[in-house]
Structure 1
Amino acid sequence: MTTDWKGLLGDAMKDFGALAKGNPKIMEGIQVFDAAGAVHGALDAKTRELIALAVASTTRCDTCIAVHAKGAIEAGASREELLEALGVAIGLNAGAAFVYSSHILSAFDSLAK
């Protein structure tokens, strides 16, 4: 499967911007959810992004994959750390997580260039 992860991410950011402009309360709500996930500060940004990618493999959300692959790269995640996190997701969700983990790996490699 070939996906233009950079293009998908750029399109998603434009779409998110349009949605936020059309209904600012939606963006405010998403920001509240996002901030709530880090409220205790027990996990660093890299760990949270790796968890998000593991979850994205089980929810099969390509936009989530692009957004959080970019976030993981920016937070300093290594490919090896990503592979370990995806291994946990695959162990819990078997086949579907395996397929989407390959998408995540592709996104990570593409966006790291």
Structure 2
Amino acid sequence: MLLDWNDHRNELLGVVNKYAQLQPEFMKGLMKMDAGASEKGHLDAKTHELIALAVAITTRCDGCLSVHVKAAAKHGATREEIAEALAVAISLNTGAALTYTAHALDAFDALKSSKS
């Protein structure tokens, strides 16, 4: 196992709670935004969590990963569903890297027109 994810999640939530004491109004706003994003509309709770988990992978947020894996499992996500959501995230990152190469090549080509 790479990390003790349960300990990691618990320690992280403890630190976040301490931060919330320092910035209560900010945290109220953040929690309101989170609640709004989590409201069931067209997507069910499991789908919300699979999306959140995919985003956690693309942003490389271990804390987000640990929280949303637990929530996804709570809402019935299987290991296979999680793996499929992660495959979408990996594919998106690969596509983003590929399309971002245009910026690198553009920067290189700009060197030709610059004297510095």
- TM-score interval for Structure 1 and Structure 2 normalised by the shorter chain: 0.7 to 0.9
57-66 or 33-42, larger mean C-alpha shift = 33-42
Cα separation, 2, equivalents of 1:38 and 1:16: 19
Q: Larger deviation: 21-30 or 44-53? A: 21-30
* Residue 85 of structure 1: aligned partner: 85
Distance 1:76 1:33, change over 3 A: same
Alignment coverage as a number of residue pairs: 95
TM-score, scaled relative to structure 2: 0.75
Q: Structure 1: 5+ residue runs without aligned partners?
A: 96-113
Per the TM alignment, residue 70 of structure 1 is displaced from its structure 2 partner at its CA by 0.9
Listed as ranges, the matches of 1:59-74 within 5 Å are: 59-74=59-74
| Structure 2 stretches lacking a partner, 5+ long | 96-116
40-49 or 30-39, which deviates more = 30-39
CA distance in 1 between partners of 2:47 and 2:64 (Å): 16
Residue identity over aligned pairs, in percent, reads: 49
Q: For each residue in 1:4-45, what CA deviation from the matched residue of structure 2 results, as whole angstroms up to 9, or x when unmatched?
A: 111110101111111112221122111111122134611111
TM-score (normalised: structure 1): 0.77
Greater C-alpha Rg: 2
